[in-house]
Amino acid sequence: MSLENEIAAMLAQARGAARKLALASTEQKNAALAALAAMIRGSKSVILGANRIDLERARGSRLARAFIERLALTDDRIEAIARGVTEVAALPDPVGATIDTWERPNGLRIEKRRVPIGLIAVIYESRPNVTVDAAALCLKAGNAVVLRGGKEALASNACLAGLVASGLNEAGLPAAAATFIDNSDREVVQILKRHPDLIDLIIPRGGNALKAALEGSSVPLLPHFDGICHTYVDAAADLKMAEEICINAKCSRPSVCNAMEALLVHRAAAEKFLPALAARMKKAGVEIRGDERVRALIRDAKPATPGDWDAEYLDLILAIKVVDSLDEAIAFIERHGSHLADAIVTRDASAAARFQHEVDSATVYVNASTRFTDGYEFGFGAETGISTNRLHARGPMGLAELTTYKYVIHGSGQVRG
């Protein structure tokens, strides 16, 4: 059987399972999720063993430090995955919920009701937790899911996907509702994007290579690609607060998409703020790249090139620029940001309000770290991705974002004149 036919057959099975899952009760879906969380907790040693295979392969291939950090699982990270599944199960079931209802003058009562999207394909790279996060959310929202992870995490993903299938089986739901493609051939992505007859939506999570691979997709995309996040320290900032926010945004986990990549500092705050921040950043191992005004204050900062303002480092590297005004900061973010997450630190309520209103990003923060842009932190239990798209969802994608709607109309014999 050709690869095209093999993948198409898997998609057809998943499509059939999607119909069954759409009609499943909340109790059945929650039972599958409860079983999955228990299996994850009971299989930590097996999961870590599979992850070691991936890590050894990644180190042997001399993959970047940031990539390996995203790939690695620990006891704590596995517990966080299981906890996310439990939290998804505890959330209200969106399927069948009434979004709105109204009555027309002719007596027709119109109801707008949430329904599953159908079959969702999630294509992702090096983070094994996505296997479970995406499956748990899609399943609770009544969607079947096709999971296609990167080759670097093949053993980890296969192990976790097997647990998802077992959880479905235990609850009497079709295992094909969470179909894992264990073939790392790049042609798989090309096949997936050619099947709008079977797949309703593709959610891609990755970089430029995945973006290029999905060009011309016949299946609608809801992408999670770039994460070039900014923090702007205003003239009216509490500088100690700004320091803590910047350290967290850059250093707590630099390899993820909601980490700060560029820092903008108002010239009125730069002289006092930047030397103290630089000392802490250097202690944390951060390489600083800056413009001329930054380098006048941080002597060993490297000169920033034009490319630094558009870079997603995913590493302990930070680009810093001094700006003359809030207007300049907002314009810079609009030009160089990816519209995922941007923050202002200020005590000026009018500056905060302008930043919130004018910065066109999926998540906009006042006096908080961009690292909170995450489905778990937003109370969604997990996320299938962080969308920078405009249709149909933006920001961390939880249960509601994995549904669409239909109109149900109640009449009493009305006919149109």
In a domain, 262, yes or no: yes
In a domain, 389, yes or no: no
Kindly report the CATH number assigned to the domain that includes residue 187. Answer: 3.40.605.10
328-370 pLDDT, tens digit per residue, is 999 999 999 999 999 999 999 999 999 999 999 999 999 999 9
Tokens of 15: 């499509």
pTM of the predicted model, to two decimals? Answer: 0.91
Nearest-angstrom CA–CA distance, 230 and 339:
10
Residue 212 identity (one-letter amino acid): A
Total domains present in the chain: 2
- The residues that bridge with 144 in the sheet, in sequence order, are 119
CA 164 to chain centre: 20
Q: What is the pLDDT of residue 223?
A: 86
- Judge if 360 and 403 occupy the same domain: no
Nearest by Cα to 123 from 218, 222, 53, 4: 222
Nearest-angstrom CA–CA distance, 21 and 47:
27
Average pLDDT over residues 108-135: 95
- Judge if 233 and 262 occupy the same domain: yes
Give the pLDDT band (50/70/90) at residue 63: confident
Task: Write the DSSP string, 173-188.
Answer: --GGGEEE-----THH
In a domain, 415, yes or no: no
Tokens of 282: 């250097």
- Judge if 268 and 196 occupy the same domain: no
Question: Residue 279 sits in which domain range?
Answer: 229-372
CA 259 to chain centre: 12
Peptide bond into 266 cis (omega under 30): no
- Judge if 256 and 301 occupy the same domain: yes
Nearest by Cα to 117 from 39, 215, 203: 203
Nearest-angstrom CA–CA distance, 8 and 109:
41
